[in-house]
Amino acid sequence: MPTIKEIAELAGVSRGTVDRVLNHRGHVDSIKEKKVLEIAKALHYTPCPAGKTLAIKKKNLRFGYILFSSTSSNPFFIDVVDGIEKRAAELGEYNVSVDIRYTGEKNPELQVKQIDELLESGISGLAIAPINHSLVIERIRELASNGFPVVTVNSDISDSGRIAYVGSNFYKSGETAAGIMNLICAGSSKVGMVMGSPLVLCQTERVAGFTNRIGEAYKGIEITATEVNNDDDILSFVVTKRLLEKHPEIDSLFLVSAGVLGACRAVSELGFTEKLKVVCYDTTIASRELIDSGAIVAAITQEPFYQGTKPLDILLDYVGMGVEPEKEYYYTELGIKIKENLY
Amino acid sequence: MPTIKEIAELAGVSRGTVDRVLNHRGHVDSIKEKKVLEIAKALHYTPCPAGKTLAIKKKNLRFGYILFSSTSSNPFFIDVVDGIEKRAAELGEYNVSVDIRYTGEKNPELQVKQIDELLESGISGLAIAPINHSLVIERIRELASNGFPVVTVNSDISDSGRIAYVGSNFYKSGETAAGIMNLICAGSSKVGMVMGSPLVLCQTERVAGFTNRIGEAYKGIEITATEVNNDDDILSFVVTKRLLEKHPEIDSLFLVSAGVLGACRAVSELGFTEKLKVVCYDTTIASRELIDSGAIVAAITQEPFYQGTKPLDILLDYVGMGVEPEKEYYYTELGIKIKENLY
DNA sequence: TTGAAAGCGCTACCAA
DNA sequence: TTGGTAGCGCTTTCAA
């Protein structure tokens, strides 16, 4: 494997010059530049990550990470935070620090304020689970247009200029739910659907994926009724109970987002656990137990740990090593968990 | 984050001494050793991977990787090789090279010969998908007892002294198949089973997991008949056809190992595609198409790419950085793939 | 515009 | 048994 040193010797210039060429720092004679580039290409030069990483230590980089505070109402984020903290500890080895802030999902003003605070404190990159509100969207757009690197997590703002998105393909995750539903009901079912909010983009995407897929491929499945639980377990209990009492013909339940525990409580209180096939998202502490007990037959997962770590990797590559993300969309793998492959 | 340099200054010794203590190289005065260890612990010293990695370059390490040549009959290994080659290219950056050899699954003599050749050529670590034969087992046991690092992949030899195993938990993968079967047949099914060979340990493990699980939890499922296809597609076609003709009551098919294409051809030729629920392992090129077309309803996956890369990581940590594996069993995640979450 | 040199953390070697 | 030093690849700073 060739090194900068070797290229420098072959080109008859100093390592500094090679570095300037290879990293587009400018101020290099164009003839020398050309020569260096030729040699680098001929030797198939690839930079040595360990060397780059080591040199990062002197930069004392800092990144910001903003995500939802609702780890209690939506325990999915517990695993995301776990990923962030693990990777942050590793990055600490290179004097890279991560400043984590939490916002309520309904508080765009606070989220914008946190963005600004982090910027003032001198971060050189931001990972954020953005609230889908014009205030936030505009702020991110502005940052991006100034060349400031932003990575969106869990929820995307596609035309904002952010350098990458890490998270689920929600439409596809809805289709996957449809596929599971079809398998477990042998092609014929009356589905009750409980969603958090029809205003949250990722949830409407899931619903769209589900609806379109059954419409095109699984016509024996129909959505009998839909309720909204506001991602709240208690409300979830109430509306699910109402839903099931009102529509006794329902034989499967599609839980689009949080409030899993509440919904399942309603099912068991009505004595419908045997009768109802429940499909949900994410393997949180609560849903794991419910899968294990048989109350939930399948959960669709979206790599929460990876959602925590990957954005930091992308930012470090971009800011620390000058490496662009390989792609724009880092979609998480859609896993299916049942009782037997849960642990 | 503390460095060796800092510890040396605090302890009033040279970095060399700290290095000797921290890496158990011996030849250190016990009082100094104690002091260094105390300081390291107090500062929560963790070695910097980038520094270590960089220093590895001078060692010119070489690892061996022996696996099955049957990538055509068992295309699962294509993805494993993909993983090996990707990681090998990355390791090349640190002057670490990987020597890959292939053995037929029924040729233990050749596998032993390849082990010996690699050893003679001076490798400092070995990853191997071992053939379950006393010749191979004994050879690995011997290596391990001499302190030579061996990582088993895909198939384990548990009491051989190898430093780690990377691969599937086959028993659990059998249980998972049982769980899927139960879901898609609503608890009642007559299963036809096609396996490669009753002599291959990982397959008997899968069968045991499947059998025990339906016995304990899904009593409505029964294994009506079993055939052996020798992991060969053509034989698989023949025996599956025979199986289905002889037992028209069979309504689901459990494909324990390779020969997926042949088995599904038999199903479609008999016009049973609609009627039969087929569950198999691995998403190979062939099985992906069959899932997409609906001939297979679900496949259980076992992270082939990871099976390629992880053993090399373990060996590099062990030999290059003096870091023991975190655990003995690196079980792969058991994924479930259906049409909707396939790509 | 360019080169020389120091430094990031760790390991290995030589000399004492 | 120890300390000093060079070197792994890369970046950055300073001086020319």
In a domain, residue A338? The reply is no
Tokens (6 digits) for B326: 């975190």
| Digitized pLDDT (tens) for each residue of chain A, 343 residues in all | 899 999 999 999 999 999 999 999 989 999 999 999 999 999 999 999 999 999 999 999 999 999 987 655 567 889 999 999 999 999 999 999 999 999 988 899 999 999 999 999 999 999 999 999 999 999 999 999 999 999 999 999 988 999 999 999 999 999 999 999 999 999 999 999 999 999 888 999 999 999 999 999 999 999 999 999 998 999 999 999 999 999 999 999 999 999 999 999 999 999 999 999 999 999 998 899 999 999 999 999 999 999 999 999 999 999 999 999 999 999 999 999 999 999 9
B175 and B297 share a domain? yes
Contacts of B341 in chain A (CB under 8 A): 172, 176, 179, 300, 333-336
In a domain, residue B340? The reply is no
Please report the pLDDT score of residue B199 as a whole number. Answer: 86
Q: How many CB atoms lie within 10 A of CB A215?
A: 13
A174 and A297 share a domain? yes
Please report the pLDDT score of residue A134 as a whole number. Answer: 93
Q: What is the CATH number of the domain that holds B183?
A: 3.40.50.2300
Q: Please name the member of A1, A53, A336 whose beta carbon is closest to the beta carbon of B341.
A: A336
Instruction: Kindly determine whether residue A1 and residue B49, on different chains, have CB atoms separated by under 8 Å.
Output: no
Tokens (6 digits) for B325: 């594996």
In a domain, residue A308? The reply is yes
Q: Please name the member of A48, A178, A333 whose beta carbon is closest to the beta carbon of B340.
A: A178
- Measured in angstroms, what separates residue B305's CA from nucleotide C5's C1'? 43
Residues on chain A bordering chain B, Cβ-to-Cβ distance under 8 angstroms: 1, 46, 48-51, 53-54, 92-95, 172, 175-176, 178-180, 183-184, 186, 213, 297-298, 300, 333-341
Strand C proximity: list residues 56-95 of B with CB under 7 Å: 58-59
End-to-end CA distance of chain B: 41
Instruction: Kindly determine whether residue A50 and residue B46, on different chains, have CB atoms separated by under 8 Å.
Output: no
- Measured in angstroms, what separates residue B95's CA from nucleotide C13's C1'? 20
CB of B1 under 7 A from strand C? yes
Instruction: Kindly determine whether residue A1 and residue B92, on different chains, have CB atoms separated by under 8 Å.
Output: yes
Q: What does DSSP say about strands A335-337 and A298-301: parallel, antiparallel, or unpaired?
A: antiparallel
- Measured in angstroms, what separates residue A52's CA from nucleotide D4's C1'? 27
Instruction: Kindly determine whether residue B93 and residue A334, on different chains, have CB atoms separated by under 8 Å.
Output: no
* Percent of chain A scoring above 70 in pLDDT: 99
A84 and A98 share a domain? yes
Minimum Cα–Cα distance from A336: chain B residue? B336
B131 and B200 share a domain? no
Sign of the CA dihedral A267, A272, A274, A277? Answer: negative
Report whether A262 contacts A278 (CB < 8 A): no
CB of B34 under 7 A from strand C? no
Instruction: Kindly determine whether residue B297 and residue A338, on different chains, have CB atoms separated by under 8 Å.
Output: no
Q: Please name the member of A46, A94, A176 whose beta carbon is closest to the beta carbon of B341.
A: A176
In a domain, residue B343? The reply is no
What is the mean pLDDT of each successive set of 10 residues along chain B, which is 343 residues long? 92 94 93 94 95 94 90 76 96 96 90 96 96 94 96 94 97 98 96 93 96 98 97 96 98 96 97 96 94 97 97 96 94 98 94
Q: How many CB atoms lie within 10 A of CB A316?
A: 20
Question: For chain B, how many structural domains are there in total?
Answer: 3
Alpha helices in B106-200 (DSSP H): 108-120, 134-145, 170-184
B177 and B232 share a domain? yes
A307 and A164 share a domain? yes
In a domain, residue B338? The reply is no
Instruction: Kindly determine whether residue A336 and residue B336, on different chains, have CB atoms separated by under 8 Å.
Output: yes
B82 and B202 share a domain? no
A207 and A282 share a domain? yes
Tokens (6 digits) for A314: 């992308």
Minimum Cα–Cα distance from B274: chain A residue? A186
The rounded distance, in Å, linking the Cα atoms of A164 and A178 is 28
Minimum Cα–Cα distance from A186: chain B residue? B184
pLDDT tens per residue across span A277-309: 999 999 998 899 999 999 999 999 999 999 999
Instruction: Kindly determine whether residue B339 and residue A179, on different chains, have CB atoms separated by under 8 Å.
Output: yes
Q: Give A253's contacts (C-beta < 8 A, 6+ positions apart).
A: A191, A192, A193, A194, A240, A263, A267, A276, A277, A278, A279
B104 and B203 share a domain? no
Instruction: Kindly determine whether residue B179 and residue A339, on different chains, have CB atoms separated by under 8 Å.
Output: yes
The rounded distance, in Å, linking the Cα atoms of B42 and B49 is 20
Number of H helices, E strands in chain B: 13, 12
CA distances (Å), origin B342, targets A182, A183, B72: 16, 15, 22
Instruction: Kindly determine whether residue A92 and residue B175, on different chains, have CB atoms separated by under 8 Å.
Output: no
A157 and A67 share a domain? yes
Instruction: Kindly determine whether residue A92 and residue B1, on different chains, have CB atoms separated by under 8 Å.
Output: yes
In a domain, residue A343? The reply is no
- Quote the DSSP letter at residue B151: E
Please report the pLDDT score of residue B215 as a whole number. Answer: 98
Strand C proximity: list residues 50-69 of A with CB under 7 Å: 54-55, 57-58
For residue B91, what is the enclosing H or E element?
Answer: helix B76-92
Amino acid at A224: T
Computed over every residue of chain A, the mean pLDDT equals: 95
- Measured in angstroms, what separates residue B16's CA from nucleotide D4's C1'? 9
Number of H helices, E strands in chain A: 13, 12
The rounded distance, in Å, linking the Cα atoms of A284 and A141 is 33
Strand D proximity: list residues 44-73 of A with CB under 7 Å: 47-48, 50-52, 54-55, 58-59
Strand D proximity: list residues 3-42 of A with CB under 7 Å: 3-5, 15-16, 19-20, 22-23
Contacts of B54 in chain A (CB under 8 A): 48, 50-51, 54
Contacts of A43 in chain B (CB under 8 A): none
Angle at B168 between CA B325 and CA B341, to 5 degrees: 115
Instruction: Kindly determine whether residue A340 and residue B92, on different chains, have CB atoms separated by under 8 Å.
Output: no
Instruction: Please classify residue B1 by burial: count the beta carbons closer than 10 Å to its beta carbon, then call 0-12 exposed, 13-18 middle and 19+ buried.
Output: middle
Report whether B228 contacts B239 (CB < 8 A): yes
The rounded distance, in Å, linking the Cα atoms of B81 and B69 is 10
Q: Please name the member of B335, B336, B340 whose beta carbon is closest to the beta carbon of A175.
A: B340
* Percent of chain A scoring above 90 in pLDDT: 91
CB of B9 under 7 A from strand C? no
In a domain, residue A70? The reply is yes
The rounded distance, in Å, linking the Cα atoms of B283 and B305 is 12
A179 and A294 share a domain? yes
The rounded distance, in Å, linking the Cα atoms of B36 and B49 is 20
Report whether A240 contacts A266 (CB < 8 A): yes
Q: How many CB atoms lie within 10 A of CB A162?
A: 24
In a domain, residue A278? The reply is yes
Q: Please name the member of A49, A93, A183 whose beta carbon is closest to the beta carbon of B297.
A: A183
CA distances (Å), origin A225, targets A237, A244, A248, A279, B264: 16, 9, 11, 15, 38
Which domain, by its residues, includes A321?
A: 50-168+303-333
Q: How many CB atoms lie within 10 A of CB B194?
A: 26
Q: How many CB atoms lie within 10 A of CB B186?
A: 12
A198 and A210 share a domain? yes
- Quote the DSSP letter at residue B141: H
The rounded distance, in Å, linking the Cα atoms of B91 and B96 is 5
The rounded distance, in Å, linking the Cα atoms of B190 and B253 is 9
Q: Please name the member of A48, A53, A341 whose beta carbon is closest to the beta carbon of B334.
A: A341
